[in-house]
C-alpha cells in the first residue's frame, strides 16, 4: 500500500483544530486506526466520526475526496453528519492519482470497515450500527466513484455526489443505470467539472424512476460543497435532509428538499413528498395525545425527531411539549366552536 508522507500528522492537526461538534443535536466522537479501526486495503487512512449520545442502531456514510487531494479536503462532513446521527468515515486513497473506479472500490472497502466495526468488541459502536443503512459520497472523482459504487453494490441506500467527475467522453446512460437515490451538488462556475459536462449529465443519465436532486450553487466553483457550512449552511441542510430521508428513512425531512435554497442557480428534482404535519410524530395525519406520549418518550430517551422539534431549536424538550399541547388545545377549541375538526 502506498504511504502518504506526513498524512497522520496532517490529519491530527485537522482534528486538533476542529471542534468535534456539528450543527446537529448530538455530540461527536472520533476513531481512527490507532483506536483499532480496520485498515482497509483499498483505501488509505480512515477517520470515523460518530454521535456519542444517539440511540442506535445508527446509519453510516463513507466519503472519499477527489483527484490529487487528501481526505482533509472533505473532512468537515465528518463531524457535521455525525452530529445529526449519521456515522461518517472519511477516507483517503492509496494513490492520490486514483481514478473514479479505484475510488468506488475504496468506498466499498470503507463500508466493510463499518460492518466490521459493528462487531469489534473494543469499539464504542459495537452492536450499535445498522449495517443495512449504508451510503456513499465523494467529491470530484470521488463523487464519480460514489456513483460507480452504487452500480457495484445495489444495497447502498443513498449517494451524495459533490461536483462529480467521470470521463464524459466515454460515459453513457448505462453507466448510471441504478435505483439508488442520488443527491448531486455542482458549482455554477466550476471549471474543473463544468456542470454541463458532468453534474448535469449525471442527473440526466440517472433513470427518471430513481429519486434524484441536482443543486447547482450560484457563483460556485469546484470546492463549493466540500464543507457543509457552504452558502450559509444551505449545502449541509440539503445534504442532511437527503440522507435523513433516503438513508435513515425519516420522511419528515422530505419537504425540506422541495424548498429551493436562495443560493441555487439551478435546483432540479423528481422527488415527491407526502404531506408533513409538524407535531404529527406518529404520522397518522392528526395531532393528538398519542403524539404527546411519543414526544415525552423521545425526551426521556434523549432522542431527536424533526417532527417533534416544534419550536425548531434543534432539540426536543419540554418546550416542544408545551407547543404541541397548545396546538392540540387550539384545534379542540376550533372543533368545539365550528363543529368541524381542523
What is the tens place of the pLDDT at every residue in 283-317?
887 889 999 999 999 999 988 888 899 887 888 99
**Looking at 51-60, 150-159, 295-304, which range is the least confident one?**
295-304
Q: Please give the pLDDT value at position 281.
A: 87
What is the percent of the chain with per-residue pLDDT over 70, rounded to a whole number? 91
Q: Say whether pLDDT at 20 is over 90.
A: no
Residue 246, beta-bridge partner list:
none
Main-chain dihedrals φ then ψ at residue 258, nearest 5 degrees: -90, -5
Predicted local distance difference test score (pLDDT) of residue 3: 39
pLDDT, mean of residues 182-208: 98
The whole-model pTM stands at 0.83
What's the confidence (pLDDT) of residue 306? 82
Q: Tens digit of pLDDT for each residue in 233-279?
A: 999 999 999 999 999 999 889 999 999 999 999 999 999 998 777 78
Catalytic residues, by residue number, are 140, 190, 222
Q: Give pLDDT tens digits for 109-133.
A: 999 999 999 999 999 999 999 999 9
Give the Cα separation of 158 and 272 in Å (integer): 16
SS3 annotation, the chain? CCCCCCHHHHHHHHHHHCCCCCCCCCCEEEEEHHHCCCCCCCCEEEEEEEECCCCCCEEEEEEECCCCCCHHHHCCHHHHHHCCCCEEEEEECCCCCCCHHHHHHHHHHHHHHHHHHCCCCCCCCCCCEEEEEEEEEEECHHHHHHHHHHHHCCCCCCEEEECCCCCCCCCCHHHHCCCCCEEEEEECCCCCCCHHHCHHHHHHHCCCCCCEEEEEECCCCCCCCCCCCHHHHHHHHHHHHHHHHHHHCCHHHHHHHHCCCCCEEEEEECCCCCCCCCCCCCCCCCCCHHHHHHHHHHHHCCCCCHHHCCCCCCCCCHHHHHHHHHHHHHHHHHHHHHCCCC
CB 76 within 8 A of CB 229: yes
Amino acid at each position: 500500500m502506498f504511504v502518504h508522507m506526513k498524512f497522520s500528522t496532517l490529519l491530527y492537526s485537522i482534528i486538533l483544530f476542529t471542534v468535534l461538534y456539528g450543527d446537529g443535536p448530538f455530540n461527536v466522537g472520533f476513531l481512527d486506526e490507532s483506536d483499532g479501526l480496520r485498515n482497509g486495503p483499498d483505501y488509505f487512512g480512515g477517520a470515523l466520526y460518530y454521535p456519542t449520545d444517539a440511540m442506535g442502531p445508527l446509519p453510516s456514510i463513507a466519503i472519499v475526496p477527489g483527484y490529487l487531494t487528501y481526505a482533509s479536503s472533505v473532512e468537515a462532513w465528518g463531524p457535521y453528519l455525525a452530529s445529526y446521527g449519521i456515522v461518517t468515515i472519511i477516507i483517503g486513497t492509496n494513490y492520490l492519482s486514483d481514478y473514479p473506479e479505484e475510488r468506488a472500490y475504496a468506498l466499498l472497502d470503507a463500508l466493510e470497515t463499518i460492518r466490521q466495526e459493528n462487531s469489534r468488541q473494543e469499539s464504542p459502536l459495537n452492536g450499535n450500527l445498522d449495517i443495512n443503512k449504508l451510503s456513499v459520497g465523494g467529491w470530484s472523482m470521488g463523487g464519480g466513484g460514489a456513483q460507480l459504487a452504487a452500480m457495484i453494490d445495489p444495497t447502498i441506500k443513498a449517494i451524495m455526489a459533490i461536483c462529480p467527475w467521470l470521463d464524459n467522453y466515454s460515459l453513457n446512460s448505462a453507466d448510471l443505470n441504478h435505483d439508488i437515490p442520488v443527491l448531486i451538488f455542482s458549482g455554477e462556475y466550476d471549471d474543473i467539472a463544468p456542470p454541463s459536462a458532468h453534474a448535469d449529465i449525471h442527473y440526466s443519465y440517472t433513470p427518471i424512476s430513481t429519486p434524484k436532486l441536482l443543486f447547482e450553487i450560484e457563483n460556485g466553483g469546484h470546492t463549493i460543497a466540500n464543507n457543509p457550512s457552504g452558502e450559509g449552511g444551505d449545502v449541509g441542510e440539503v445534504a442532511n435532509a437527503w440522507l435523513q430521508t433516503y438513508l435513515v428513512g425519516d420522511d419528515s425531512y422530505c419537504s425540506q428538499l422541495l424548498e429551493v435554497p436562495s443560493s441555487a442557480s439551478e435546483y432540479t428534482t423528481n422527488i415527491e413528498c407526502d404531506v408533513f404535519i409538524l407535531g404529527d410524530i406518529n404520522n397518522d395525519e392528526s395531532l393528538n395525545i398519542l403524539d404527546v406520549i411519543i414526544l415525552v418518550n423521545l425526551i426521556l430517551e434523549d432522542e431527536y425527531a424533526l417532527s417533534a422539534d416544534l419550536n425548531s431549536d434543534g432539540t426536543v424538550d419540554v418546550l416542544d411539549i408545551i407547543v404541541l399541547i397548545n396546538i392540540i388545545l387550539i384545534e379542540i377549541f376550533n372543533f368545539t366552536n365550528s363543529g368541524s375538526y381542523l
